[in-house]
Structure 1
Amino acid sequence: MADGHAVDRWDLLDLLPARAGRAAGSLYHRLLDSAPWAYQRIYTGTEQAGGAGPAARALLRTARSRVLRALPADTGAVVSTYPGASHVLGSLRLAGELRIPALTYLTDFSVHPLWVARGIDRHLAVHEVPAAQARARGAAEVRVCGPVTDPRFRPARGGERAAARKRFGLLPGVRYALLVAGSWGVGPVRQVAAEIRACGVAVPVVVCGRNQALARQLAADGIEHVHGWTDDMPNLMWACDVMVQNAGGLTSLEAFASGLPVVSYRCIPGHGAANAAALDEAGVALWIRDATGLPAALESLMEGRTGLRQRASGLSLVPADPALGPAATIADACLPAERPAASGPRRAPHASGKPGAPGRRSGVRLGTTFAPATAVWASAVCTAVATGQDAPVLLRAVQHRIDPDARNTSHPAAVPAAENLP
């Protein structure tokens, strides 16, 4: 946008026929809530098989023509932040039906085989750990370009921390642990909140997302600071001393950008545990595997050298120069020096964005499948894997949009935020 690009945003699930995408999303939610063991089996099965089975691939093929129709003729590049979308785009590229660059932004620190699709031109990674995993799985042209987060997520300055505490009714001199569990509030959130309170090291502050039942249960448990869907996660992060998460999605990246140390604890199965391992390997988030280690880990992150190291590691992920970040890499792919004319979505000629501003590329579109990427803001989602080897359902990745005027994060605004995504 700020760089002169128009951005169109599509959710792949909306492009599947007969409301199949919505049904798949509901099933995915139910699996995480009621049968996490089944989701773990699906995740492990597809990982061992190296990807989705024939039924899942058949379902994705039904979206091909709809994806093509969704792209305006002047589209310059298409960015996927969801494995299923990457496979649709890759197949279109291989068939010659999509003649513009297709990129995958790897939103997680762990890379499941479903993330890597043949035909994708470029894979973008947050850190070298997921980049190495992607290369090992055969991904084409992997680049490390850092996270995509709203610019509001940054370390607190001056009196911002004190003001944030006052805003949320948090007391000075008390240490607080921010507990997040995605927009659905999945996982053993009540248990973790109780354990944090019982260990006496920090007071839990819980964000439940859209899970109103969970918020009521936590209030009945005596947890004092409980929030539902909130549009002020930057201030909430400034107000707290450490963040406890269970999925490793965008909220973790936002915490890194805010200078808030992160711990992974009692993670949801599948991508939650895989992300915890990758974050721990990268040295940006401590993974607590046993309840006995919780008090010491929280203490070291809030007051010890571990916390100082992790703050520095997290902040180092955010490019100091926006020209080195994901949006610039996407824009670079969108506008190569020369591209032969072809039918279908293609690069538009340079155009002036406004009088007196030559060279602005306002006529160029970045088509995005599932979430947008712009020169200033971009969105990302946490991983949601597709299906078992022969399972008939495509599991959902919930979209996240960073919007300066309407943001809800208990993991997005007007749409679920990735920090609140499972």
Structure 2
Amino acid sequence: MTDARIHPAEAAAAPGDGPRSILILMSRTGGGHLASARALEAEFHAQRQGLTVTIVDVLTDHLSFPFSRLPKGYDGLVNRTPRLWHAMWRATAHRAVARPSAALVRRLSRRKLERLVTATRPDLVVSVHPLVNDLVLPVLARLSPASRYVTVVTDLGGIHPSWLHPKNAAIYLPTERAVEIAAARGLPRTRLHAYGLPIRADFARETADRGATRASFGLAPDLPVVLVMGGGGGIGPMEAIAREAGSALAVASPDAPAAQLAIVCATNRRLKEALEASPFPVPLTALGYIDRMADLMHASDLLVTKAGPGTIAEASVRGLPMLLYGFIPGQEAPNVDHVVDAGAGLFEPKPKRIGAEIAHLMTGGRDRLAAMAAAARSLGRARATRDIVASILAGSAA
């Protein structure tokens, strides 16, 4: 096990050593896996010139029908029928279910998976999705046994057993607690490393003036910001949260606004139009897709979001307190405990009570907000992506 506070970047292999062709395996089930893959890809190129790094969506592009259609139904499944999703998540945690299921899918998709391996000819394979390990590792063992295979876990607390394939040369986990879970399931500690979740490099850079950053998003420079997010699709009770927060803030501070609201609608045009068409008792800015999330989090004082692991990791690096309103049953439920137990945030699923909590924190609860910010910052791992990549490259060259 490697201490998360030790930085191995200087131990990376010399330019002539190690892998030249890297294959990153992911799937677009949620936005976090792709974001992690891209963060790793950028860092591989930053640390080693001349690499070929290929990101592939295994489940959508390299499985046979009908399995290739399953990722498209993921968002609808977890949002419309969360109990069904939770039952599936729990069932596949049993190897007696997971292994035969993966073997069937692998057998029916054999030609596509073999073409993936032979076309890319990777020296190194990096998985950032739990479902690809049982699909690809047996194929790789037959066609390219010299290829090194590592997994970068992109869940914070819900470490599904499918992440922990015994044939992994190394597994990169987000926390020391996750290392203990993996070790209890029989993985050798020498293969387990806790550096945090891979996040984009811009979260590690120096921050600019907050007022100027706020103004760059069309926000009032001198007014605290409550940032409300619902993932890449702008899903969840965001409109209700915005309205309840606006009303509660207006009551708590009737003479002058105590805060402004920034609502990230992402691709949800209906939400953006609805917010822009309605009057609000406090300043509100409805934003579309944001590619400067590190800056927007720096500009904010409180984050209201569901318990996505990537968002939590990014907010922690920024020292941004969190008010969590929901989670995907199964893999995201432990993320709530990760935040709340550390004192970095609160959990409240009801919009009316969320609004009241926002109003309290932004008026009479500023000391508590500051304590939450400090706790969030203590969870942050700004160098996680750099350290993970450096360790992978060093291990591949050994």
In the TM superposition, what is the alpha-carbon distance from 1:34 to its structure 2 partner?
2.4
SS in 1 for 2:271: helix
C-alpha distance in 2 between matches for 1:112 and 1:332: 27
Q: Does 1:122 align with 2:173?
A: no
**2:267 pairs with one of 194, 197, 210:** 210
Q: What does residue 103 of structure 1 align with?
A: 150
Larger RCO: 1 or 2 (CA < 8 Å, sep 6+): 1
C-alpha distance in 1 between matches for 2:374 and 2:169: 35
- 1:336-351 equivalences in 2 (<5 Å): 336=398
Gaps (5+ residues) in structure 2?
A: 1-44, 250-257
Identity of aligned residues (%): 24
SS in 2 for 1:152: helix
Q: What does residue 182 of structure 2 align with?
A: 134
In the TM superposition, what is the alpha-carbon distance from 1:212 to its structure 2 partner?
2.2
Q: 1:214 to 1:49 in 2, by over 3 A?
A: farther
Q: What does residue 77 of structure 1 align with?
A: 124
Q: What does residue 249 of structure 1 align with?
A: 309
CA deviation digits over 1:321-357, x for unaligned, max 9?
A: 94xx011112123222xxxxxxxxxxxxxxxxxxxxx
Does the CA contact (< 8 Å) of 2:230 and 2:306 recur in 1?
yes
Q: 1:62 to 1:221 in 2, by over 3 A?
A: farther
C-alpha distance in 1 between matches for 2:389 and 2:294: 21
Q: 1:220 to 1:87 in 2, by over 3 A?
A: farther
Q: What does residue 162 of structure 1 align with?
A: 211
Q: Does 1:318 align with 2:382?
A: yes
Gaps (5+ residues) in structure 1?
A: 337-422
Does the CA contact (< 8 Å) of 1:179 and 1:207 recur in 2?
yes
Q: 1:100 to 1:53 in 2, by over 3 A?
A: closer
Amino acid at match of 1:241: D
Does the CA contact (< 8 Å) of 1:170 and 1:239 recur in 2?
no
**1:193 pairs with one of 230, 242, 253:** 242
C-alpha distance in 2 between matches for 1:199 and 1:135: 47
SS in 2 for 1:78: strand
- 1:16-415 equivalences in 2 (<5 Å): 16-18=63-65, 20-21=67-68, 23-47=69-93, 52=98, 54-71=100-117, 75-92=122-139, 98-110=145-157, 111-140=159-188, 141-154=191-204, 157-159=207-209, 161-200=210-249, 202-220=259-277, 222=279, 224-281=284-341, 283=342, 285-289=344-348, 291=350, 292=353, 294-295=357-358, 296=360, 304-315=369-380, 317-319=381-383, 322=386, 325-336=387-398
C-alpha distance in 2 between matches for 1:90 and 1:108: 20
CA deviation digits over 1:299-329, x for unaligned, max 9?
A: 75786442342243133x223994xx01111
Q: TM-score by structure 2 length? A: 0.72
C-alpha distance in 1 between matches for 2:312 and 2:170: 24
C-alpha distance in 2 between matches for 1:199 and 1:306: 22
Does the CA contact (< 8 Å) of 2:153 and 2:163 recur in 1?
yes
In the TM superposition, what is the alpha-carbon distance from 1:74 to its structure 2 partner?
5.6
SS in 2 for 1:153: helix
C-alpha distance in 2 between matches for 1:132 and 1:104: 16
Does the CA contact (< 8 Å) of 2:224 and 2:301 recur in 1?
yes
C-alpha distance in 2 between matches for 1:114 and 1:301: 42
Residues matched between the structures, number: 330
C-alpha distance in 1 between matches for 2:397 and 2:181: 28
Amino acid at match of 2:300: C
CA deviation digits over 1:270-289, x for unaligned, max 9?
A: 333232223434x2742414
Does the CA contact (< 8 Å) of 1:39 and 1:269 recur in 2?
yes
In the TM superposition, what is the alpha-carbon distance from 1:24 to its structure 2 partner?
0.8
As a proportion of its length, which structure holds more helix? 2
C-alpha distance in 2 between matches for 1:216 and 1:265: 23
Q: 1:279 to 1:57 in 2, by over 3 A?
A: farther
Q: TM-score by structure 1 length? A: 0.68
C-alpha distance in 2 between matches for 1:74 and 1:18: 24
